[in-house]
Amino acid sequence: MSMESYPQSRLSIFLESDLYYRFRTSRITVSAAIVTALILLAALLAPWIAPHTPFDVTTLSLWDSELPPVWVEGGDPRFVLGTDNQGRDVLSAILYGSRISLFVGFVSVAFAMVIGIVIGLISGYFGGAIDAFFMRIADVMLSFPTILVALLVSGIARGALPREMHDSAALVVLVFAITITTWVQYARTVRSSTMVERSREYVYAAQLVGRQPFAILFSHILPNVMGPVLVIATINLAMAILIEATLSFLGVGMPPTNPSLGTLIRVGNEYLFSGVWWVVIFPSLTLVVLVLAVNLLGDWLRDALNPKLR
């Protein structure tokens, strides 16, 4: 059987690769990908597909409060998943909430990745005192659990901002806090790759010719290191979503006026004992499914890219 037929297009190289093979033969991974895509889509289109706008106070009516889901007795087909104690539609709240959760997740991962890669490149390339400085910071940060650092950053931000701004700045503070806690892993991976490449001959050769070695490093190292970086990114995405949800649940994340899934869970938790279970359960389910899907995708990526398992 012959597998070499040159030249091959990039697409066919990908389609024949181990990576893709493991993807399409794993039903779980494919399901996970579909679910993630669905949730992403729903969240993106929230303003258009949500049946209500739960945070526009003028559309709310207390008559509609605490309605159970439509399949339970007393339910109302206008509010498929029920309402909370202020009459807000749970389904719409989930759609908007997922939007925020995903936004914070993706943006903080993107920022952390960029910052981490840049610091890693600089640290690995220049070495010496600069490297020591960054790596010290990284060590200290890694020795603390992420949730703690995120809480601290959040708390400091609140202390620094006047009280009135807490709610409106919550999004920015959250993204900032999560970015700060997660850049380290990227930096380390990129740094070690950079250090390996820096001593290679082509860098020296480029220096002789007068090219900027930094530019070369950039164009050579990045492709090499994107594999592990992507794996870290998927793990971090799940983690970022969880951290945001946790912070919001604890009351120091998104406020109830612009809630993420975590805030919704917290709000719902407060009247759990009075038997209103749907306000807590549905956002929780959504969150769990989302994180699970992302984790499964991350597992697939990790297994497929792991040279030891080939």
The residues that touch other proteins, with contacts defined as CB under 8 A, are 1-3, 21, 140, 143-145, 147-148, 151-152, 154-156, 158-160, 238, 242, 245-246, 249-252, 262, 265, 269, 272-273, 277, 280, 284, 287-288, 291-292, 295-296, 299
**Distance of alpha carbon 110 from alpha carbon 183, whole angstroms:** 10
Nearest CB to other proteins, comparing residues 19 and 226? 19
106 to 66, 109, 113, 178, 273: CA distances (angstroms): 33, 5, 10, 11, 34
The nearest distance, CB 246 to other proteins, in angstroms, is 6
| Residue in the structure block whose two tokens are 């297994």 | 303
Residue 32 Cβ, how far from other proteins at the closest point, in Å? 11
Q: What is the dihedral of CA 229, 234, 239, 242, to 10 degrees?
A: 150
- Residue whose entry in the numeric block shows the structure tokens 């339970």: 72
Distances (CA, A) of 162 to 26, 165, 250, 259: 51, 6, 20, 21
Nearest distance, CB of residue 92 and other proteins, angstroms: 21
Is the CB of 64 or the CB of 66 nearer to other proteins?
66
| Identity of the residue, 159 or 223, whose beta carbon is nearer to other proteins in the bound complex | 159
Whole-number Å distance between alpha carbons of 33 and 266: 28
CB nearer to other proteins: pick between 15 and 140: 140
Q: Which C-beta is closer to other proteins: that of 51 or that of 145?
A: 145
Q: Tell me whether residue 173 or residue 221 sits nearer to other proteins (CB atom).
A: 173
Nearest distance from C-beta of residue 42 to other proteins, angstroms: 19
CB of 138 to other proteins, least distance (A): 13
* Nearest residue (CB) to other proteins, 124 versus 253: 253
